Structure 1
Amino acid sequence: MTAFELAQVTIARMLAPFKDPSMQDFVTGLALVNASADVAPGFIWRLQVEDGDMSAVRAFDWDMGDSFGVLPNISVWTSVEALSDFVFSGEHLAYLKRRREWFLPVKDMMTALWWVPSGHQPTVDECVAKVRHLRENGPIPEVFTLRTQFPRPDVAAGPRDGDPDSSVAA
């Protein structure tokens, strides 16, 4: 066990309300993807709500734009590699490839990664602050992306480039 774990938040701007019929494939797939995440190597924790409708988390309303709401995904993993392995494989990858059916394309940073002390569960407010900080400052050791990664604070090294196709996450 290490002293640090990887927190991540990904937000997506919805093309329709969560309960709209056009979102049905996504909503159905969300349960499958979450179940596969729960047993994925390196998965530790994810924010959950009782009815599964993460659109009820209102903290990202400031980023709605012309969407029907912002859907957050907040989780903790053992490493960048574990997160990346999950994101770019299996059920998650199949739904990731279909994201344009349910979410608006964006140019803003929508995924933020950062190291947290082992056992820490990020709050929604913490995630909002990380997304804002990343957008204002770009990747730095305190908040970064899959494309530009920084090692755990207890590992001495500079930034490293990730997969050049990894501009999206969970």
Structure 2
Amino acid sequence: MSQIAQVNIARMLAPLADPLMAEFVAQLDTINALADNSPGFLWRLQTAEGNATSLQPYEDALIIVNLSLWVSLADLTAFVYKSRHRSVLQQRHQWFQRFDGPYTALWWVPPGHIPDVAEAKQRLASLQTQGETSYAFSFKKPFPAPEEGSDLRTQVVVE
């Protein structure tokens, strides 16, 4: 059975050490622990510090990345929109700039596959150039999990 991967990027209004970001930073451990203990949670990108805020996958040092893996789209959706995470999401404009283009992408992966940042960036780029497809989609227009035995890597969109 396929699992759902998600990437979410955001451009901060200021560096993490800036007082403007203090409220966001203060909630990181709590929200990450909530994710870790949520039904259907499998994995998230993190460093030894327990989060991914020190990673710099983009040239712009103000862009942070969140990458995770879930058993089902329903589990991921419940965490994002029906848990305490929702209140943080509703406050995002206090800490993050409006993003030009897609900032969240979802895609199906085979069991045991752990996505990396390069793969996540590819999915976001595909969403930007190709729109919603089975290769990369959003919460607004989800695609169903592929049938058992499908080779998910063959779904790559050629540009």
Q: Does the alignment reach a TM-score above 0.5?
A: yes
User: 1:119 Cα shift?
Assistant: 1.3
User: 1:89 Cα shift?
Assistant: 2.1
Residues 80-134 of structure 1, C-alpha deviation per residue, up to 9 Å, x if partnerless? 1111111012220111111001000124110000001111111111111111111
1:94 counterpart residue number: 87
Q: Partner amino acid for 1:89?
A: K
2:118 counterpart residue number: 125
1:150 counterpart residue number: 143
Confirm or deny: 8 A CA contact 1:60 1:128 kept in the other structure: no
* Paired residue secondary structure (1:106): coil
1:80 counterpart residue number: 73
Task: State the distance in 1 between where 2:12 and 2:4 align.
Answer: 26
Task: State the distance in 2 between where 1:55 and 1:44 align.
Answer: 19
Unaligned runs of 5+ in 2: 149-159
Equivalenced residues, count:
148
Q: Which range moved further: 145-154 or 49-58?
A: 49-58
* 1:1-170 matches, cutoff 5 A: 2=1, 4-52=2-50, 54-61=52-59, 64=60, 69-154=62-147
Q: Partner amino acid for 1:146?
A: F
User: 1:36 Cα shift?
Assistant: 0.5
Q: Partner amino acid for 1:21?
A: P
Task: State the distance in 1 between where 2:100 and 2:16 align.
Answer: 22
2:156 counterpart residue number: none
* Paired residue secondary structure (1:56): coil
Confirm or deny: 8 A CA contact 1:55 1:69 kept in the other structure: no
Task: State the distance in 2 between where 1:29 and 1:55 align.
Answer: 13
Q: Tell me how large the CA RMSD over aligned residues is.
A: 1.4
Task: State the distance in 1 between where 2:115 and 2:143 align.
Answer: 18
* Paired residue secondary structure (2:107): strand
* Paired residue secondary structure (2:122): helix
Confirm or deny: 8 A CA contact 1:32 1:91 kept in the other structure: no
- TM-score, normalization: structure 2? 0.88
In the TM superposition, structure 1's runs of 4+ consecutive aligned residues that sit over 3 Å from their partners are none
Unaligned runs of 5+ in 1: 156-170
* Paired residue secondary structure (1:19): coil
Confirm or deny: 8 A CA contact 1:114 1:141 kept in the other structure: yes
User: 1:144 Cα shift?
Assistant: 0.6
